[in-house]
Amino acid sequence: MSLTLSEVSKHNTDKSCWVIIKNKVYDVTDFLAEHPGGAKIILKYAGRDATSAYEPIHPPDALDKNLAPEKHLGDLDSSSAAALSDARQHRKKTEDELRMEREQANKPPLSRILDLQEMENVAHKLISSKAWAYYSSASDDEITNIENARAFTRFFFNPRVMRRLSNTNPSTTILGFKSRIPVFASGAALAKLGHPRGEANITEGCGRTSIVQMVSSNASLSYAEIAAARVSPDQPLFFQLYKHKDQSLALKRIREVEALGYNAIFLTVDAIVAGNRERDVRAGWTEEDVEAIAEEQQGKGKKGELPRKKTDMEELESAIDVKGTAGALVANDDRDMTWEETIPWLRSVTKLPIVIKGVQCVEDAVLAVEAGVDGIMLSNHGGRQLEYAMPSLEVLYRIRKQRPDVFSKTEVYLDGGVRRGTDVVKALCLGATAVGLGRPFLYAQSAYGAAGVVKLIRFWNVRW
Ligand code: HEM
Ligand SMILES: Cc1cc2nc3c(=O)[nH]c(=O)nc-3n(C[C@H](O)[C@H](O)[C@H](O)COP(=O)(O)O)c2cc1C
């Protein structure tokens, strides 16, 4: 069936809500209540094109997976599609888009980038303010995020000399999978916000440098697309699991990644409620304001008549509470996970190795070992969840001091603030098997695609 813009525009309420995504029309009326991002955000696009809001934050298979075939109403007719494309092309660019274009033209060559901070600076200039806010923000006053990195500055080496070093080899194994250096990409959502190829850049970069990528449950490509981006079929991929509160949906997700050949499950346990990332929330408002101005300029606002200003109470109640880009990502997470029930359940449904991601104190490291997991990942989600969680490196140090037996019973990984080769070495000296990096991979792929990811790994002077 082919539909016109005018037909679609009639379905613009919660009683009948149609949206256009990439020239296809969907009836999302029944889905409104189920949407992890909330109904209001979809209603904002009811009866019109939602592509630009939808695309960067949803994997391409989200609609197929979640809407019954009869809700896929058909294509826009060719003249409507042409009208939409024309409107898109002639849309006045925002200040932010113009800035990004300017910066892209002046991007420094990758060979001139010497460290992760420079890579981050380039990414900051190139990506949208919304992407920057989502990637860089952390909870509340961002203390834990800052301290994650600063913790590394509190530990010094006790350097030993006169040891044979010409034949050193930094490679290791993580859960039995070979890794060129003891570093991997921690699962971080929505890589497409920073670069159109998104997570596939990280997959290719990790494949080329023989390190492992952990893929986020909230990746912006489908898990299949990411698996397909591997440089060889045996390139290992770990899967970061957000466990859905509906056990059968959680199982469906596990079965999907098992079938695709993913090699381990990293169950995230530190994000069962959304972190309070205020910079991320503010970025959403800026976007809304820009849209409102654009609509006014394109004559969609009610020109001539002064709209009645809402009372403060009306404004408060009608505001779309999207909690930033991140707010909805964990909306369906299981909030009742326990050591006693969740780990045995996970063990019973999968043979893949299980790692707990988000251990933040010595006591829980010990409980994780007792629960029999294959690895523990000391992480506070890059300071994005519980503010004043202790820096991951400090937790590692405390485990080393108080419960060194943990290291002989399971593999211990860490992420949060790792930015230099010396940070990696400090974590290894304290007993970690390997370390993960979150933001740096997002920045590297945003700025330079897969080449940026390769460069990021090469920063640590490992030549190949
Ligand atoms: C504009 C029209 C939109 C449509 C038609 C739409 C549709 C969908 C669909 C079909 C899903 C998959 C549900 C699932 O996997 O359980 C989904 C998930 C989601 N949506 Fe939307 N969405 C829209 C806008 C938005 C916006 C603007 C946001 C954020 C501010 C958002 C945030 C999310 C999140 C966080 C998820 C969960 C992703 C995941 O579980 O992988 N959506 N949406
Ligand atoms: C933008 C962004 C998205 C993230 N998404 C996820 C996610 O989907 N699942 C998850 O377990 N952790 C997620 N994390 C946390 C990372 O896996 C990792 O723990 C953290 O980024 C490490 O800190 P670092 O950024 O200082 O390296 C995310 C982090 C960032 C910055």
Q: What is the pLDDT of residues 164-206, one digit of tens each?
A: 988 888 999 999 999 999 999 999 999 999 999 999 999 999 9
Residues 334-377 pLDDT 10s = 999 999 999 999 999 999 999 999 999 999 999 999 999 999 99
pLDDT band at 392; cut points 50, 70, 90: very high
**Ligand 2 atom nearest residue 418's Cα:** 27
The tens digit of pLDDT for each residue in 221-251 reads 999 999 999 999 999 999 999 999 899 999 9
Averaged pLDDT, 101-125: 94
136 lines ligand 2 (CB under 6 A): no
Note the pLDDT of residue 337: 95
ipTM summary value: 0.86
Residue 229 and residue 180 share a domain: yes
Residues 123 and 216 in one domain: yes
How many whole angstroms separate alpha carbon 415 and alpha carbon 155?
Answer: 16
Residue 64 and residue 212 in one domain: no
pLDDT computed for residue 272 by the predictor: 87
Q: Ligand 2 atom closest to Cα of 149?
A: 26
The average confidence (pLDDT) of the chain is 90
Among residues 318, 346, 370, the one where a domain terminates is 318
In a domain, 98, yes or no: no
pLDDT band at 84 (very low <50, low <70, confident <90, very high): confident
213 and 67 fall within a common domain: no
Tell me, in angstroms, the distance from the centre of ligand 1 to residue 230's CA: 26
Q: Which atom of ligand 1 is nearest to the CA of 45?
A: 1
Question: Residues 320-335: pLDDT tens digits?
Answer: 555 566 566 667 889 9
pLDDT at 320: 58
Q: What is the percent of the chain with per-residue pLDDT over 70, rounded to a whole number?
A: 91
Sign, CA torsion 405/408/409/415: positive
Q: Of the candidates 265, 286, 318, which is a domain's last residue?
A: 318
Same-domain status, 337 and 304: no
Residues acting as catalytic residues:
242, 270, 381
Residue scoring higher pLDDT (292 or 93): 93
**Residue 59: predicted pLDDT:** 86
Is the distance from the beta carbon of residue 39 to the nearest atom of ligand 1 less than 6 Å?
A: no
Task: Report d(CA 464, CA 448) in Å as an integer.
Answer: 19
Q: From ligand 2's centre to the CA of 416, what distance in Å? A: 8
Same-domain status, 362 and 306: no
297: exposed, middle or buried (C-beta count within 10 Å: 0-12, 13-18, 19+)?
exposed
d(CA 92, CA 329): 31
Give me ligand 1 centre to Cα 66, in Å: 10
Domain of residue 288, CATH code: 3.10.120.10
Instruction: Specify the number of domains making up the chain.
Output: 2
Same domain, 119 and 181: yes
For the Cβ of 439 lying below 6 angstroms from any atom of ligand 2, the answer is yes
Q: How many whole angstroms separate alpha carbon 242 and alpha carbon 333?
A: 6
Percent of the chain with pLDDT over 90: 68
Ligand 2 centroid–CA 439 distance in Å is 7
Pocket residue to mutate for ligand 2, from 267, 376, 384, most atoms within 8 A of Cβ: 384
Per-residue pLDDT, 464: 46
Ligand nearest to the CA of 284: 1
Nearest CA to ligand 1 atom 31: 37
Amino acid symbol at 164? R
Last residue of a domain, one of 261, 294, 318: 318
Is residue 355, in this structure, part of any structural domain at all? yes
State if residue 391 touches ligand 2 by the CB under 6 angstroms criterion. no
Q: Quick check: 290 pLDDT over 50?
A: yes
Binned at pLDDT 50, 70 and 90, residue 291 comes out as low
Is residue 419, in this structure, part of any structural domain at all? yes
Residues 150 and 31 in one domain: no
Q: How confident is the model at residue 430 (pLDDT cuts 50, 70, 90)?
A: very high
Q: Please check whether residues 408 and 449 belong to one and the same domain.
A: yes
Domain that holds residue 86: 2-91+278-318
254 and 294 inside one domain: no
Average pLDDT in the 71-76 region?
Answer: 90
Question: Which ligand 2 atom minimizes the distance to the CA of 416?
Answer: 23
